Chain A
Amino acid sequence: MGSISVRDDCVYCTGVPGGASLGNVLSSDPRLHPSFLILTRCSNRGILNRIIRVRGKSVEDYAAACASRLADVKALLAAPIQLTTAAAHLGGVAVECQVKALVVSYHGLSDWGCRSRRTNGPKEPIPRPGHGLIAGVKLMNDLYRKAKADPFFLMHLNRLMHPKGATDVDFIALRYSAEEQSETEIREWQHSLDYVCGWLRKNEDRSS
């Protein structure tokens, strides 16, 4: 077996025996972030005793995930019997993906926990924002400033975070809810989803 060293987001692999898949080597090392596993597809060319530097996409494709979840929402709401709760849950996840995609792009991240590559970015590593929608927005100073200046955005975002009303559970806890939303509620929610997605697209930072 060869040896592997990991520095920053780079993997250095030496002495991978002939015929062995680099992917196998990588996936067997517990020090590696799961995102590196994608790189195993980049494959081993059978080069032995040579450092192989693998670098590239290491975070999920949040933009694609967002598009996929939005398509789910569309399908659920277009069904003969609308599945509104599932739609609201997945709509929240879609926005979560969209925000994360923006954060990754805004800071030029190759992975969560890395430092921002922005000239004036924060010096601290950028954490994964989890399911926190506003937490994600807060990671982008310029976007957060714009968000705070637009009460509409905050109102619609809040509705996406709490689809059944401000005093009800959030979109994550909605997975455990069996109740469907009323027609009015889901119409308003859909309006909020359109507003927030449109707002995020419009105010996406293109400078980095």
Chain B
Amino acid sequence: MNAVRELRRQLDNSFPGRYELDVGAERTAIILIIDPSFSGKTRQQRVMQIEPLLDEAGLRPGITELYTPAEADERGIALSTDQIIAPATWDTAVSMVESGQRPVDVQRPQRKPRRVIFYSYKGGVGRTTALVHTAFHLARAGKRVAVIDLDVEAPGLHTVLPRSDRAPIVAGLVDYLWERQIRPFDEVTDECLETCLVGTPAGQAKAISYAVEDPVARAQVQVIPAGAVGDDYVRRLHTLSFEDVLTRSDDAWALFEQELAEQLDPDFMLIDARTGLGDWGGLSLLRLADEAFLVLYPSDQNGEGIRFVRGTLTQLREIPTHLVLSPIPEGPLGRKLVDQFLPQLGLEEDDEQPVEIHYNPGIASAGVYPVETAMASYARLANLILESETEDRVEATIQRTDRWKIIESLSFPQREAKAIAANDFELFFQKTSDFDKFLDDARWVVRGRKGTGKSTLFHLFVEHQENAVKRARGRLEGIDVLPGHGPAVGAEFRPTTDVFNTIRRKLIEGEDDWLSLWRAYAIIRVFCSVKRALVESLLKGPDMKALHQHLFACFTVEPGGYWRSTHTTGLLELLGEPFKGLCRDLMIDLNTELGRAGRKLWLLYDDLDQDIKEESSWQGEALSGLLRLAYDSNNQGLHNVRFKVFLREDIWSALVFTNKSHFGDPRTLELKWNRDDFLRLAYRLATGASAEFRALAQRQFPLTDTEVDSAGEEDLRRALAPLWGLNQEKGKKAFAARWVYSRMTDSQDNTYPRSLTVLLNTAREEELRRRNDKQVPSDRLFSRPSMQAGLKSASEARVNELKNEFPKLRPFLDYVKKDKALRSQFSRGELETAWKKTSPSEDATLDSFIAQLDTAGLLVKKARGATYDFGIASLYIDGLGITRVQGENK
């Protein structure tokens, strides 16, 4: 159908407001254009101008009327001026979809009450049960809820939620609508009407609503039944015009909603809709719905119907539509059933996954609703409704605020970790779930890809300990942290690349080892640090005299002093006797002393990948020495001095040393940003940078600083809705937050905070650049095109970082980008061709190259039997300028 929409776009450009297009069966076009440009052209010329457009849209010409205004006037032919409202029937809906028409939604200042439709194609799938439990979830969340039975041909809501006095109902919505449609009455006094919405003690009219209270939480839900089934009900139902609903501001349904708002003022109206493809179900979904839940059991007959309903609905109306699978058997049987069924629904990559409701025997035997043991299963449905409501509220708020002022106030500066000031940490540092693991005393290696925040963590602990302590919640009590090596402020005093090269040569000459070197260097770092007192008293012992003198002589350094050659010599001298043994002894003494004081010392090492020559034959040897020191110290029971080494993932992977097998998961920490961490950071960046945005976000979804660290994905999605929207596009199901996360994640599941900053910066600039565009979104600050521009920039930045991280891949990456050698998905053969062109060394194999791409997080391996063997991780697609294969979502 997109093709017909595209046709409409073209016609809108060429003949604005001067055409009518409809499509009949077998894609037959019925088109009327009245335009002065036809003047002087023969019919044949006119047809030749229009029919190719129809053909392009996959339509065949049925009736093509092409007139000048004078010709049309002569024939008495005019364009229709009717406004297209949402259809009430499925066949009208299908026609509208086929002809690319979108109805004009009846504008309501606020979608309150929000009409939420629960629909099932077949009965008996738990639709009403889902509605009832969702209603009570919302009521328990403090919302005002009315549940309405529009399953008029088989009403039953009043039996699930009967009146509290168990009295039979006397009238319902059908009676209410019927008499307002059929009978003359006084609209002010309601004289001549038998029914009313809410009863009064003295009133004579029959009230159609009643309240039901949940015995556990005492939350109330207003019930509006369809009516008492009987002779009158049937007569009234069949004379009631379902089409005459929401067509005028004074029709029966409008009067019902007006009275509902005046008397009950619900936030939500949950409507139990008729099954199948009949009139009332169609009306509920097609015209009334602000949001819809399509409830189905995973079976062929349900699948076919729901696929049609969902397809029509989503093409016609921009409303949130959710799938609910119910009731699913527990365990592997249910899993298998769902897995086998899901392909039938034809869901796309970014579509929201169906909510699964498991079979609950408590419901089957329930006499009273809601069933407490089943409530948890329906929480997700209530959350989805609340999310959509948030989206609407955000839209209303953004419309009331100065959108551009807020966007201008946002800023996302790129910060080098070492340049982050203490108060910036307060604003921008996002504690991830890895933070607590880092506090684990026995984690010796902190590894992660470039840009995953290793250096930020290093700086937090060595330079802004007060911030680290605050976030550690007592777990840093009694722990001193010092830089063992790394780019801390004032740590110019350290050996760098060429010095390490000298050290390495001397080690070989003196047949010394790296482990001893690192131990000696650690002692120097403590000696030169603000914590010198830790070793000073120990060095005063008689047996330590020589070491003390040596350290004092060689390493008395003024603050801000540089590492000089004398320091290198002094360090290397510590590898000779007696210093080597004394260093070992001092380490033991330090450990004992710390133990006695109930304290610990952590030495943190960062930037070793830069300061020890990368890709040198001895880099591994040097780093292995440090790791062996950590391991040996632990083995000797020196548990009070801990070494924590920050290493880039690829360097760690390439390291080979004895006992590496002991550096398993409990000893190492791989820094990864999961979705929640990533969203928390986005929220913190946006709120930290702009007081205006903070105020906007807090108005919608208040989150305190501490709550941000523990907020779940659903809360974060809602909190971020003002920034980039709740959904990728208004009315679409895919969550914007998930979209951003998935586009910012490589094939190794790595996400990069640095990329997020690039993305947000570019999105902001792009949005400001589009300031004069007509199509500015009303429900978010950053529109989808701006976000796409941001994703592209972030991707380009990542490609550059990847080239630095994996220099061997550079020729391949350049070739792919320059020659457009690969699309986003490709076969092994295509990859092989690209690999061969980028001149691999003779001994390399395609498999080793694939492994390298895999390690780099660049390559996605497709399942066996898929059309393609491989794909490029979405994070890198835009940055490499790669074309997506047809059908792949952007």
Question: Which A residues fall within an 8 A CB radius of B?
Answer: 119-120, 122-124, 127-132, 134-135, 138, 145, 147-151, 154-155, 157-158, 161-162, 166-170, 172
Contact = CB atoms under 8 A, between A and B. Distances in A.
Q: Which of B77, B78, B247, B248 has the most CB of A within 10 A?
A: B77
B47 A148 contact: no
A148 B44 contact: no
B65 A134 contact: yes
A128 B64 CA distance: 20
Interface string B53-93: 00000000111110000000011111010100000000110
Given A150-B25, A169-B43, A131 B75 contact: yes
Given A131-B75, A132-B75, A166 B26 contact: no
A166 B65 contact: no
A203 B78 CA distance: 25
B689 interface: no
A134 B63 contact: yes
B62 A167 contact: no
B243 to A, nearest CB: 6
Given A123-B248, A134-B65, A168-B44, A151 B26 contact: yes
A187 B244 CA distance: 45
B95 interface: yes
Interface string B569-607: 000000000000000000000000000000000000000
Contacts of A170: 43, 65, 75
B28 interface: yes
Contact of B76 (A123, A132, A154): A132
B30 A167 contact: no
Contacts of A135: 32, 77-78
B43 A122 contact: no
Given A131-B75, A138-B80, 17 more contacts: A120-B241, A120-B243, A122-B82, A130-B77, A131-B76, A132-B77, A134-B30, A145-B91, A148-B24, A148-B30, A151-B24, A151-B26, A154-B24, A154-B30, A157-B63, A166-B61, A172-B75
B75 A148 contact: no
Contact of B95 (A134, A148, A161): A148
Contacts of B77: 129-132, 135
Contacts of B23: 148
A161 B24 contact: no
Top 9 A-B pairs ranked by shortest CB distance?
A130-B76, A148-B24, A132-B77, A131-B75, A167-B44, A154-B62, A151-B26, A167-B47, A158-B63
Nearest to B24: A148
Contacts of B463: none
A148 B25 contact: yes
Q: Which of B76, B78, B91 has the most CB of A within 10 A?
A: B76
Interface residues of B, number: 32
Given A119-B241, A130-B75, A155 B82 contact: no
A157 B30 CA distance: 11
Nearest to A132: B77
Contacts of B26: 151
B43 to A, nearest CB: 6
Nearest to A148: B24
Interface in B245-301: 247-248
7 contacts: A120-B241, A130-B77, A148-B23, A148-B28, A151-B25, A166-B64, A167-B44
A151 B29 CA distance: 10
Nearest to A157: B63
Interface of B: 22-26, 28, 30, 32, 43-44, 47-48, 61-65, 74-78, 80, 82, 91-92, 95, 241, 243-244, 247-248
Nearest to B23: A148
Contacts of A172: 74-75
A170 B767 CA distance: 51
Contacts of A161: 63, 65
Contacts of B24: 147-151, 154
Given A122-B82, A132-B76, A151 B62 contact: yes
Q: Which of A123, A166, A172 has the most CB of B within 10 A?
A: A166
Q: Which of B32, B43, B91 has the most CB of A within 10 A?
A: B43
Contacts of A123: 247-248
Contacts of A122: 82
A115 to B, nearest CB: 14
Contact of A151 (B28, B74, B80, B248): B28
Contact of A149 (B25, B62, B80): B25
Contacts of A149: 24-25, 91
A90 B874 CA distance: 65
A119 B61 CA distance: 34
B58 to A, nearest CB: 15
Contacts of A127: 78
Contact of A128 (B74, B76, B244): B76
A155 B43 CA distance: 18
A167 to B, nearest CB: 4
Contacts of A147: 24
Contacts of B43: 162, 167-170
B705 to A, nearest CB: 57
Nearest to A124: B82
A155 B75 contact: no
Contacts of A131: 75-77
Contacts of B247: 123
